[in-house]
């Protein structure tokens, strides 16, 4: 239509045509009518195409393919609890701040708020969806390519909202199955590091807030640490997961992430390195 208007404005008069508003050029009027009605028809067809395309895209986005896996993601100030559900209780396990999924397979994510409103957002995988107290929201996530997808809480939830990150790690179905099988196992390290580290873990009171399956530590306040050494980051994707950063986090978590609910632990200096190495070995 715009092109037709421009053409009408710049079209040159027919040679020999007098500038008489009462004189009609039948051929010119016919050509103009054909152009106008042709553009109107093209506009109607194009709008119909866009409408149908939009309908099909919305239908595809709202489709709920049968998920191969269900994950319960609980948001806390300021970290994520990741619980892999299964019909068999023995196949249920819990981790934190890191979600593993098989490539090309639909995964249902059940969103639960553990305290205030949070928002799950992994830009390259799915849109934002809130975690609301007293309500469970669900979405289907499918990673079509292997890789690491950065996620973030997208709803202001307190002082450390900006440091409430997570990672979604998409693996081949075989690699995911191996990872899952390993996560189902209890902490399995043995020897001097395990003995010294466990003593420091219990002596410092860490067991009151954290769980390490395979030991007597069964705290539910903080993240499950059974396989914490296998994670890429700690403190909700705030620090790389290294012995040095783990030691720094144990020594003074408030200096790294002020306002978080992990208190400064009274760990003897000689035990900090032992405890950090023990946790890093939990893979």
Return d(Cα 40, Cα 76) in angstroms, integer. 56
Q: Around 231, how many Cα atoms within 13 Å sit in the side-chain half-sphere? A: 28
pLDDT-derived band at 21 (thresholds 50, 70, 90) equals low
pLDDT band at 122 (very low <50, low <70, confident <90, very high): very high
Q: Is the pLDDT of residue 179 over 90?
A: yes
CB 229 within 8 A of CB 241: yes
- For the beta carbon of residue 68, count every other beta carbon within 10 angstroms: 15
Q: Which pair of structure tokens corresponds to residue 167?
A: 């990672």
Where do the structural domains in the chain lie, given as residue ranges?
A: 2-12+22-62, 69-183, 192-280
Q: Check residue 63 and give its pLDDT.
A: 61
Range with lowest mean pLDDT among 18-22, 80-84, 97-101, 166-170: 18-22
pLDDT digits (tens, 9 = 90+) for 150-163: 999 999 999 999 99
22 pLDDT exceeds 80? no
Q: What's CA 143's distance to the chain center, in Å? A: 11
Report whether 257 contacts 78 (CB < 8 A): yes
CATH superfamily of 69-183: Cupredoxins -  blue copper proteins (2.60.40.420)
Which is it for strands 118-121 and 79-85: parallel, antiparallel or unpaired?
Answer: unpaired
Q: Do the strands 239-240 and 98-102 form a parallel or antiparallel pair, or are they unpaired? A: unpaired
- Which residues, 6+ apart, have CB-to-CB distance to 142 below 8 Å? 65, 104, 105, 106, 107, 125
Has residue 24 got a pLDDT over 90? Answer: no
DSSP, collapsed to helix, strand or coil, labels residue 255 as helix
Tell me which DSSP letter residue 163 carries. G
Question: Residue 76, CB half-sphere, CA atoms under 13 Å: how many?
Answer: 16
- Residue 270 Cα distances to 197, 217, 242, 243, 274, angstroms: 11, 22, 18, 14, 7
So what's the pLDDT on residue 7? 62
Q: Which CATH topology does 192-280 take? A: Immunoglobulin-like (2.60.40)
- Which pTM does this prediction carry? 0.77
* Nearest in space to 147 (alpha carbons), one of 120, 167, 121, 128: 167
User: Exposed, middle or buried by CB within 10 Å (0-12, 13-18, 19+), for 70?
Assistant: middle
Two tokens, residue 206:
């860490």
Residue 107 bridge partners (DSSP) = 69, 141
pLDDT tens-place string over residues 245-264: 999 999 999 999 999 999 88
pLDDT in tens, 57-91: 766 655 667 889 999 999 999 999 999 999 999 99
The whole-number pLDDT of residue 194 equals 78
pLDDT of residue 17: 53
Tell me which residue has tokens 């499950």: 224
């Amino acid at each position: 239509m715009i092109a037709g208007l421009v053409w009408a404005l710049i079209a040159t008069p027919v040679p020999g045509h007098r500038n008489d508003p009462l004189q009609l050029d039948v051929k010119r009027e016919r050509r103009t009518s054909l152009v106008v009605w042709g553009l109107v028809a093209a506009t109607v067809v194009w709008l119909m195409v866009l409408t149908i395309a939009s309908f099909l895209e919305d239908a595809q986005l709202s489709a709920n393919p049968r998920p191969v896996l269900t994950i319960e993601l609980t948001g806390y100030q300021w970290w994520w609890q990741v619980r892999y559900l299964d019909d068999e209780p023995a196949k249920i396990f819990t981790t934190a701040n890191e979600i593993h999924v098989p490539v090309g397979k639909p995964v249902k994510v059940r969103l639960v708020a553990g305290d205030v409103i949070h928002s799950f957002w992994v830009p390259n995988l799915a849109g934002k969806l809130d975690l609301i107290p007293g309500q469970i929201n669900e979405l289907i996530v499918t990673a079509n390519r292997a890789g690491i997808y950065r996620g973030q809480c997208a709803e202001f939830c307190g002082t450390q909202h900006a440091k409430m990150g997570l990672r979604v790690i998409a693996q081949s179905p075989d690699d995911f199955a191996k990872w899952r099988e390993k996560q189902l196992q209890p902490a399995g390290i043995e020897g001097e590091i395990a003995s010294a580290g466990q003593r420091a873990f219990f002596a410092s009171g860490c067991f009151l807030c954290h769980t390490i399956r395979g030991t007597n530590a069964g705290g539910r306040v903080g993240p499950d640490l059974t396989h914490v050494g296998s994670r890429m980051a700690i403190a909700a994707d705030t620090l790389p997961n290294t012995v040095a950063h783990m030691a720094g986090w144990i020594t003074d978590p408030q200096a790294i992430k002020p306002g978080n609910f992990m208190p400064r632990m009274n760990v003897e200096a000689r035990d900090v390195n032992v405890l950090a190495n023990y946790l890093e070995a939990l893979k």
